[in-house]
Amino acid sequence: MKKLLSLLLTAILIFSLTAAFVGCGENPDNPSPDDSKTETLPLLKASGNDLVDEDGNVVIIKGVNLGGWLVQESWMCPTDAKDQKTAYSVLTERFGEAKMKELFKIYEDNYIVAEDFVNIKNLGFNCVRIPFTFWNLQDEQEDYTVFDRLDFAVEECRKNGLYVILDLHGAKGSQNGRDHSGDTSQVELFDDKTNWDDMVYLWSMVADHFKDSNTVLGYDLLNEPEGKLLISMPNPQFAFYNDCYKAIREMDDRHIIIMEAVWEAYCLPNPADYEWENVMYEYHNYGWGDANHDLNDFSYQKDFVDKKIRDYKNLKYSVPKFIGEFTLFDNYDAWKYAIDSYLENGIGYTIWTYKVVAETSAWGLYNGTPEKVNIESDSYEEIATKWSTVKTAQSYHTSPTYDFFKSYNGVTEG
């Protein structure tokens, strides 16, 4: 009898535990590991001049760049290095490659964290543009297999209902020789076939990795391409874009491919000329002022925006348009006019940028004064300490631009 009672109690216990586990699996407040990976955003595609979801609803991108995270710029980041390549080189020479990588891991672990994506969502945005360089994806054999940082960002965006634009900000050999490419020593992307082919291959690897993610809005092929061949030859970036387009389409026929104009609407071809489909065109609009107008002059900025809008409307083809970078400096009436104008014309945007080193600046949603690293003289320990304190919550505060968007987007909390 005791044995029978024991078996009965064991059966009841097993049944209860099984029911509990099943119940947890069905509870939306306690999603299973598989449920946690469910996409929360519809895939977007190009349709005429618009981005639309799977039901044909128009979606306008409103977001921010994560500048300074995966490629540093000394004017806005806690470093005095003239470019990322120099920082890598100097720190490797001083401490060895392993410790150089440790220092950049500390920086990247702290500069952008999960809370930052919550901040962006809570401010009323729906998209993040993520600048990265070819270095960020390289493994020990210099193949493009390291996706830890981008995977982290895409997952945090998925959790927060934010789309992601993956932006190749720094190509091998550099596409412009600017600090924001990570390399000011050369402009050797377009006239070096090895570099060219390597970046085409990089995009095939990125596309293969993210092809199933609806959170990824699209692939921004190349940030602000310039270079000597752009002067001596007609539009070599079109051929580069076309090679990247073909390589991506072999891996991924779902996602939008984004091409950038430097700097005007007429600086990109009719997509039909290259048989490009499901593409978006991107422009960076910085009105730097002129001999007769300060950059904070409202009338100057209004005329600048009006001309851009006219040029977009005058294009003889249909394609979604996107302002991937811009600022209106310290004139918030100009900010409102520009954003109103873009949205009224169905043009999305991501502002430059999320945060900058400054006491008060219109450039970032967050401003702060974390101590800058001197790559030549600071010890390993000093650099590690400085770069471990660059979290937004630690060393930054909200800026006037944050306050503008809080009001503009109708945010009532936070």
pLDDT at 97: 98
In-domain check, residue 305: yes
Find the mean pLDDT for residues 201-212.
Answer: 99
Residue 4 in this model has a pLDDT that exceeds 90: no
pLDDT at 106: 99
Find the mean pLDDT for residues 10-31.
Answer: 39
Q: How confident is the model at residue 161 (pLDDT cuts 50, 70, 90)?
A: very high
pLDDT at 23: 38
Dist. CA 137–CA 96, nearest whole Å: 20
- Is the pLDDT higher at 14 or at 326? 326
In-domain check, residue 387: yes
Q: How confident is the model at residue 5 (pLDDT cuts 50, 70, 90)?
A: very low
pLDDT above 70 as % of the chain: 88
pLDDT at 229: 66
Dist. CA 379–CA 36, nearest whole Å: 42
pLDDT at 37: 55
Residue 347 in this model has a pLDDT that exceeds 80: yes
In-domain check, residue 413: no
Find the mean pLDDT for residues 361-371.
Answer: 98
pLDDT at 232: 63
pLDDT at 18: 40
pLDDT at 16: 42
Q: How many C-beta neighbours within 10 Å does residue 143 have?
A: 12
Find the mean pLDDT for residues 212-239.
Answer: 86
Dist. CA 81–CA 373, nearest whole Å: 8
pLDDT per residue over 171-203, tens digit each?
999 999 999 999 999 999 998 999 999 999 999
Q: Could you please report the per-residue DSSP string of 280-346? A: EEEEEEE---BTTB-TT-HHHHHHHHHHHHHHHHT-SS---EEEEEEE-TT-HHHHHHHHHHHHHTT
In-domain check, residue 379: yes
Q: For the chain, state the CA radius of gyration.
A: 24
pLDDT at 233: 62
In-domain check, residue 293: yes
Find the mean pLDDT for residues 61-75.
Answer: 99
Q: How confident is the model at residue 290 (pLDDT cuts 50, 70, 90)?
A: very high
CA atoms within 13 A of residue 235's CA, in its CB half-sphere:
12
Cβ partners under 8 Å of residue 57, min gap 6: none
In-domain check, residue 324: yes
Q: How confident is the model at residue 135 (pLDDT cuts 50, 70, 90)?
A: very high
CATH number at residue 86: 3.20.20.80
In-domain check, residue 52: yes
Strand partners, 138: 144
pLDDT at 28: 34
Helix axis angle for 332-344 and 400-408, nearest 10°, is 40
Q: How confident is the model at residue 40 (pLDDT cuts 50, 70, 90)?
A: confident
Dist. CA 57–CA 217, nearest whole Å: 15
pLDDT at 414: 64
pLDDT at 186: 95
Query: What's the mean pLDDT when you consider all of the chain?
Result: 92
pLDDT at 339: 99
Find the mean pLDDT for residues 289-295.
Answer: 93
Tell me the whole-structure pTM to 2 decimals.
Answer: 0.90
pLDDT at 324: 99
Q: How confident is the model at residue 262 (pLDDT cuts 50, 70, 90)?
A: confident
Full domain range(s) for residue 107: 46-408
Number of separate domains in the chain: 1
Residue 110 in this model has a pLDDT that exceeds 60: yes
pLDDT per residue over 226-249, tens digit each?
876 666 666 789 999 999 999 999
In-domain check, residue 325: yes
